[in-house]
Amino acid sequence: MHDPRHTSERPGRRSGPPDLPEDVRDLVAVDLSAAQVQDWSIAGDSFSWTLLAGDADRGHELASLTYVGAVVLHTNRRDLDRAVAAAAEVDRSEVVRSDDGGFEHRVTLVPDYPIVVRFWSVEVRRMPAPDHLRRVR
């Protein structure tokens, strides 16, 4: 049975229930498959990270995601620094509604490293990026 709280990311189009706020629909629209972690920061109640998405055929883009009212679960600063140093790639990504009315962005980095960001709103900034930013793992 389909969970109505669940939204999956699909390349090239907005997905998920139409009742999602526009900012969350923007997040769901980003194809993070095999995106590499470039950097991250925590300031106050926000968590930000930048991921290099895309490939040589489609082109690359930097997706800067800033979650407001954020709590990051299943990770710590040292592990996030390691993810940047290792050019860790996204294996899975999904956005679900949380029981408190907010959202969770559930990301699994290769090989099997889960990160959950609970948030109330998100700012998504996307910009084209040169291919040379993709690091060989």
Instruction: Please tell me the total count of domains within the chain.
Output: 1
Q: How far is CA 39 from CA 66, 77, 82, 129, in A?
A: 12, 11, 10, 15
Full residue range of the structural domain in which residue 38 is found: 6-130
* Cβ–Cβ under 8 Å, residues 49 and 83: no
Q: pLDDT tier at 17 (50, 70, 90 boundaries)?
A: low
Asked if the structure places residue 21 within a domain, the reply is yes
Asked if the structure places residue 31 within a domain, the reply is yes
| CA pair distance 67, 81, nearest whole angstrom | 18
Residues in the chain: 137
Asked if the structure places residue 1 within a domain, the reply is no
Give the SS3 label for residue 70. Answer: coil
Asked if the structure places residue 136 within a domain, the reply is no
Asked if the structure places residue 32 within a domain, the reply is yes
Pick from 120, 82, 80: nearest CA to 100: 120
- pLDDT, one tens digit per residue, over 21-80 is 999 999 999 999 999 999 999 999 999 999 999 988 889 999 999 999 999 999 999 999
Asked if the structure places residue 87 within a domain, the reply is yes
Asked if the structure places residue 33 within a domain, the reply is yes
- pLDDT, one tens digit per residue, over 68-124 is 999 999 999 999 999 999 999 999 999 999 999 999 999 999 988 999 999 999 999
Asked if the structure places residue 119 within a domain, the reply is yes
Give the SS3 label for residue 133. Answer: helix
* Cβ–Cβ under 8 Å, residues 120 and 69: yes
Give the SS3 label for residue 56. Answer: coil
pTM for this predicted structure: 0.84
